[in-house]
Structure 1
């Protein structure tokens, strides 16, 4: 009975604990508690193709902190932009200790997103921000419920309405209200996709049960699908410099509890009409330091290796956590079996 009650509670939490619609915003002091072990009580650092480098559990007296849906780092690999599914921007910079591990967040600001009509606090249904990408002089944001991809000027996105929108190509009638445009990524300019924006739906499926997806622009513009299995749903993704896509997926059910995994999808497979799949290079369950993992970004560190940073959506619940976890991509050909 206790197990069933706890599982039922988690289902309710992951479904969301209600919207937090407010137009207030400004500086936010964020406290980061260090996470030194990904597996509590263990010195293990390798998990599939990833090496755990450290993490933070984030908290703040500012009630707006939480509900992190996506994160993207600036070229300096320190400053970042994030979106909250309550319709807010979170910007800041990560700080590191003398060993290079995540230590905290500084210069944080939480600001309300402005819609195309110049309004804020339009309600979660209109401003349910889920995906985020940086391209040129724009910040692109994908939204659920009112399905769209809006383009905000960069710099100036925090105080401006979008100055454009990119057609999503997927018929809106095929998109589920709260399971749609979750992942938004930009392919490398040097890849066959030539810098195109790519979207993958969370759990809006075609007749074969695959996740709907699209290449929104560029020479290969068109729709494709992503194989959906093991009850994992897309939550974010990032392209590697070689053009491969790392797709972050999460799962929650009564049999398995909370889970997260990353699939590596060959960039050359992504084209109109394709059904793409990839090897699972990382998978973690509730026995490890995870929560409702929703955001993923990657950058090449000073030592030449690829670092990944994941963030979680706490649904503004006291029973969930806002996490920032950092990993190094190791043995790129290593496959973690499903």
Structure 2
């Protein structure tokens, strides 16, 4: 059911959450999310190499209903559905021309799609081979110039920053690193309509998940500013992994997130929304 009481923090206001039961989509493991500019249409990416498109219905600021189309499997370069180790799709970014980019773990890579059909692989640097099997490219975003940004979920050690990779003019380059604070790991990202980079991070406490959203201003080869917008307590939400940032009719930035239920009955798929207040 939708959340019905808005809660406020220093920089964001919680608006609502809405469960998305498995019988509505026959999927789970949602790890990537993109919304239309008005926040109504969505594309959700499952980590089982499938996409679901649909519409988010709101009453006032609150999510009240989800309408979705049938899932569509992602295909490999041979034109057949992705399966096995190559099917761990995690990050989703959509360019202004509608082209989709999807990042994968395990076989760490990014592929370009004009739909769910045959992809165009982007050349991967050798450094991608060194990422942990389940700690690779979960977060993927595209900026206003059409450049892709990604970073691995794991940096190697608690004190090591996360290397940020940018794809521009046909090649990847590691341009700078994002500082690591505590046990949070990057799982989703988006550039907002304000041109800033929003990073969704997750921490597993052993019993529950915590979520954090940081906002950055990027220069060509360095980070210009960083601030934490949201840091939740354990059990506040599920395993939030996908993030889409958009501007509502009142001009406020909204953060819409989706959770990964890990295909477990005791976890849930849900949409969660916050409004940025400063």
| TM score, norm. by length of structure 1 | 0.75
- The count of residues paired between Structure 1 and Structure 2 equals 276
CA 1:86 to 1:276, structure 2 compared with 1: closer, same or farther past 3 Å? farther
The match for 2:277 is 330
SS at match of 1:299: strand
**2:228 counterpart of 1:280:** yes
Residue-by-residue CA offset, 1:24-61 (whole Å, 9 max, x unaligned): xxxxxxxxx22224xxxxxx621231111112011032
Determine if contact 1:112/1:121 at 8 Å carries over to the other structure: yes
The match for 2:118 is 161
**2:233 counterpart of 1:311:** no
Query: Cα RMSD over matched residues?
Result: 2.4
Residue-by-residue CA offset, 1:244-270 (whole Å, 9 max, x unaligned): 21111000134x8421101111222x6
SS at match of 1:126: helix
**2:113 counterpart of 1:152:** yes
CA 1:276 to 1:127, structure 2 compared with 1: closer, same or farther past 3 Å? farther
Matches within 5 A, 1:101-180: 101-123=62-84, 125-135=85-95, 136-153=97-114, 157-158=115-116, 160-162=117-119, 164-169=120-125, 171-180=127-136
SS at match of 1:141: strand
Distance 2:126 2:159 in 1: 16
**2:50 counterpart of 1:82:** no
Give structure 2 stretches of 5+ with no counterpart: none
Determine if contact 2:193/2:245 at 8 Å carries over to the other structure: no
SS at match of 1:172: helix
Determine if contact 1:196/1:215 at 8 Å carries over to the other structure: yes
SS at match of 1:173: helix
Q: Larger C-alpha radius of gyration, 1 or 2?
A: 1
CA 1:78 to 1:261, structure 2 compared with 1: closer, same or farther past 3 Å? same
Distance 2:168 2:92 in 1: 16
| TM score, norm. by length of structure 2 | 0.91
SS at match of 1:243: coil
Determine if contact 2:139/2:188 at 8 Å carries over to the other structure: yes
Distance 1:202 1:279 in 2: 19
SS at match of 2:138: strand
1:152 positional shift: 0.6
Determine if contact 2:188/2:201 at 8 Å carries over to the other structure: yes
The match for 2:34 is 72
Distance 1:263 1:313 in 2: 20
CA 1:322 to 1:64, structure 2 compared with 1: closer, same or farther past 3 Å? same
**2:165 counterpart of 1:214:** yes
CA 1:56 to 1:208, structure 2 compared with 1: closer, same or farther past 3 Å? closer
Residue-by-residue CA offset, 1:99-140 (whole Å, 9 max, x unaligned): 2421111132212111112121512x1110100000124111
SS at match of 1:285: coil
SS at match of 1:61: helix
Give structure 1 stretches of 5+ with no counterpart: 1-32, 38-43, 189-193, 332-338
Deviating above 4 A after TM superposition, structure 1's stretches of 4 or more consecutive aligned residues are 218-221, 274-277
The match for 2:137 is 181
